[in-house]
Amino acid sequence: MTRWRGLIAVALAGLACAGCATVKPAPGALAPRRSIAQACASERTSDSWVNCALAHMTLRDKVAQMVWPQLYGDYVAADAPAWRRLSSLVREQHVGGLIMSIGSPLEIAAKLNALQSMSDLPLLVSADLEAGAGFRARGGYFLPNAIDLGGAVWFPPEMALGATGDTTLAREQGRATAAEGRAIGINIDFSPVLDVNNNPANPVINTRSFGETPESVAAMGVAYMHGIEAGGMIPTGKHFPGHGDTGVNSHLALPVVNASRARLDTVELVPFRAAIDAGVGAIMTFHGAMPSLDSSGVPGTLSSKVLTGLLRDQLHFNGLIVTDAMDMRGVLDLFGAPEAMQRAVAAGADVLLMPADVPHAIDAVVQGVGSGRYSEARITESARRILALKWRLGLERRRLADLDSARAIVGDSSHQALAAQIAQRAVTLVKDSLDQVPLGRLSHGARVLSVTFAHRSDLGAGVTFDAELRRTFPSLRSEFVSADDALPDYWRLLTVVDSADVVVVSSYLAAGSAVSDLSAPQGFVQFVNELVLRGAHPVVVALGNPYLLQQVSEVPAYLIAWSGAPVSQRAAARALVGAAPIGGRLPISIPPLAAVGAGLVRGTAAGATASSTTP
């Protein structure tokens, strides 16, 4: 297996390439468009091409290679302000890379192609593809009909893979993700998440982690990483040195992990060591403080003790160090943007991701050299790593996505089948005290009430789940409760409950960048508890936060499907009615109710209505 560490770690010193002994532009000046690409077009090795490019760069050009703004894969007209801004960042600011957010696959590819074509040097394009390329590259829903516009394959989250315990599936998901990502012009995947989720109250990691056991997170993470590499993409382990034991969302405030160095060595750092030993190409930083590593209280992203002392010197990581988003409160609240940028560079970061103001971020880093905070050689070191990675990916020879072939790769049926297999094997039955599951043992005419609890903006919540349940129970009644309503009409639902043979309550509340507390609202908890008191024997299905059982511990049946993705909804419903067996095992504990490895096994039910495992 190719080891990315050796591929992107190039010597920091070397002879200048032949023909590159030209006069460099004045400091701070913008290099003419395409001059560097043209001057270095004849170079045939990584070292000579990188040296040639660096020889033609101003200090500001080198800094710009380190600053990667965010963009969306939405359609914009050529004269739209958003497009003019993006064009300016590429043509005038000479940014070295981008992070793609959400959009439809072909619009993402077309927009990236346009930006690549106007850039002097090729752009490195990154994205968070933690749950497959469909995690970002989907068309969304068309309103007002909520028509699913499709897109790349949306896989279950990493914790679902942890529930399968199958590293082969992890590798295959990584490979499929990379294949689809590369097909639309993305080069770097900001996954796998290597955080050990050992805090049930963590509002931002949660199911994004493989689990709470360091060894299993390490094994699954390395397998996933190798799959990404096999698909032609660079994997990124995150969030170093570990975001799992936090109760604070780093998007909103500064988390502090008060663990000893001995605990960090035996828990948080285990997956990162394994990934580094396996040659992971990039590491993303944690916007949180760990006093046992740096007593100053600064987040790891801004700490030289963490990024240089620990990651570079002790763990011998030679790849690309990428900051988490530099518009997050975990770094901005303490110092403000300019100071945070300079501190990150001084700490050892190679890439400054998603600054709110790109030109000002570049200026701030340049000023850091002028003030003597760090040297231009330090900037050159990071620019060299970035350029070497562009060469390794072949971007100086071919930087554009092939729009004609993308449709043959993105959303491929074999990838859909893989996602369905993972989702089905991940379904975990934690509790079934009344032996209700599978429901397929009920008569075809049973009166089933399905209550979906989700945010109103989650247009897909319950749609696939209820459609699949209805195949077995045609008279299924669907009810939706908005988590955004201050006082949902639970009493109306309780009147409906009395006429139902079985009540299925599915929750889609999940961790996220804007979430500060994962707890379900007390009104919802009281409603579920009232169902128990009335003898309705509710079956609760967690399609979001798997720790929900802690709040509704009296329910007789509790099933976890790990995400609200359509593929997970279908798997949960098929398992519930007995159209598919249940065999997932908890990769986490749910204190004090269930231990790691818990999970009841169920076979199929003779009365269940089977359906295809893929859409």
Same domain? 83 vs 196: yes
Does 447 fall in a domain? yes
Around Cβ 39, how many Cβ atoms within 10 Å? 18
104-124 per-position pLDDT tens digit = 999 999 999 999 999 999 999
State the pLDDT confidence band at 513, using cuts at 50, 70 and 90: confident
Q: Which of the listed residues 373, 408, 443 is the one where a domain comes to its end? A: 408
Eight-class DSSP state of 314: I
* 608 — pLDDT class (breaks 50, 70, 90): low
Same domain, 299 and 200: yes
**pLDDT of 2 strictly over 60:** no
Tokens of 556: 């007789």
Same-domain pairing of 356 and 465: no
Q: What pLDDT, on the 0 to 100 scale, is given for residue 193?
A: 98
Over range 243-250, report the average pLDDT: 89
pLDDT digits (tens, 9 = 90+) for 516-565: 788 999 999 999 999 999 999 999 999 999 999 999 999 999 999 999 99
Nearest to 504 by CA among 591, 572, 601: 572
Residues 506 and 400 in one domain: no
- pLDDT-derived band at 511 (thresholds 50, 70, 90) equals confident
**Taking residues 426-454, what's their average pLDDT?**
93
Residues 403 and 439 in one domain: no
Q: pLDDT at position 219, please?
A: 98
> What digits encode the pLDDT tens for the residues 14-68?
323 333 333 344 444 444 445 899 999 999 999 999 999 999 999 999 999 999 9
Confidence (pLDDT) at 19: 35
377, 408, 439 - which closes a domain: 408
Helix (H, G, I), strand (E, B) or coil at 411: coil
Q: Which pair of structure tokens corresponds to residue 230?
A: 């096999």
Determine which of 201-205, 268-272, 419-423 has the lowest per-residue pLDDT on average.
201-205
- The structure's pTM equals 0.91
Instruction: Please report how many Cα atoms fall inside a 13 Å half-sphere around the Cα of residue 80, on the Cβ side.
Output: 8
* Same domain flag for 374 and 451: no
Contacts with 97 (C-beta within 8 Å, 6 or more apart), sequence order = 65, 68, 123, 124, 125, 126, 188, 351, 386
Domain CATH number, residue 546:
3.40.50.1700
**Distance from C-alpha of 177 to C-alpha of 189, rounded to nearest angstrom:** 9
Together in a domain, 523 and 569:
yes
- The amino acid sitting at 223 is A
Quick one: average pLDDT of 288-315?
97
Strands 282-285 and 234-240: parallel
> pLDDT confidence of 612, banded at 50, 70, 90?
low
The answer for 393, left when phi > 0, alpha when psi is -120 to 50, beta otherwise, is alpha
On whether residue 460 sits in a domain, the answer given is: yes
Residue 117 covered by a domain: yes
| Residue 186 and residue 74 in one domain | yes
Where are the alpha helices (H) located in 430-565, listed in sequence order?
A: 463-472, 490-497, 522-533
Is 599 part of any domain? no
Residue ending a domain, among 408, 436, 451, is 408
- Among residues 150, 84, 95, the alpha carbon closest in space to that of 126 is found at 95
| Mean per-residue pLDDT over the chain, rounded | 91
Count of structural domains, the chain = 2
Whether residue 376 is found in the same domain as residue 481: no
196 and 79 share one domain? yes
Q: Are residues 393 and 435 in the same domain?
A: no
pLDDT tier, 609 (very low <50, low <70, confident <90, very high otherwise): low
Domain containing residue 117: CATH number: 3.20.20.300
In a domain, 532, yes or no: yes
The average pLDDT across 281-297 equals 96
Handedness of CA 209, 210, 211, 215 (dihedral sign): negative
Domain hosting residue 218, numbered range: 66-408
The model's pLDDT over 317-355, given as tens digits with 9 standing for 90+, comes to 999 999 999 999 888 888 999 999 999 999 999 999 999
User: Do 158 and 135 touch, CB atoms closer than 8 A?
Assistant: no
**Pairing between strand 147-148 and 141-142?**
antiparallel
Supply φ then ψ for residue 126, to 5 degrees: -115, 165
Predicted confidence band of residue 224 (pLDDT cuts 50, 70, 90): very high
d(CA 165, CA 376): 47
Q: Report yes or no on 557 lying in a domain.
A: yes
- Higher-pLDDT residue of 33 and 196 is 196
395 shares its domain with 493: no
**The pLDDT value given to residue 610:** 54
Q: What are the start-end ranges of the E strands in 74-207?
A: 97-103, 124-127, 141-142, 147-148, 188-189
Higher pLDDT, 162 or 23: 162
Give pLDDT, residue 250.
87
- Considering the chain, what percentage of its residues have pLDDT values greater than 70? 93
> Per-residue pLDDT for 7 more than 70?
no
Q: How many residues does the chain have?
A: 615
Radius of gyration of the chain (CA): 25
Residue 14's pLDDT is what?
33
**Catalytic annotation, pick one of 195, 324, 350, 458:** 324
Per the domain annotation, does 192 fall within a domain? yes
Q: Is the dihedral of CA 369, 287, 153, 145 positive or negative?
A: negative
Whether 324 is a known active-site residue: answer yes
Could you read off the pLDDT of 353-386 as tens digits, one per residue? Answer: 999 999 999 999 999 999 999 999 999 999 999 9
**Structural domain includes residue 608:** no
Strand partners, 477: 449
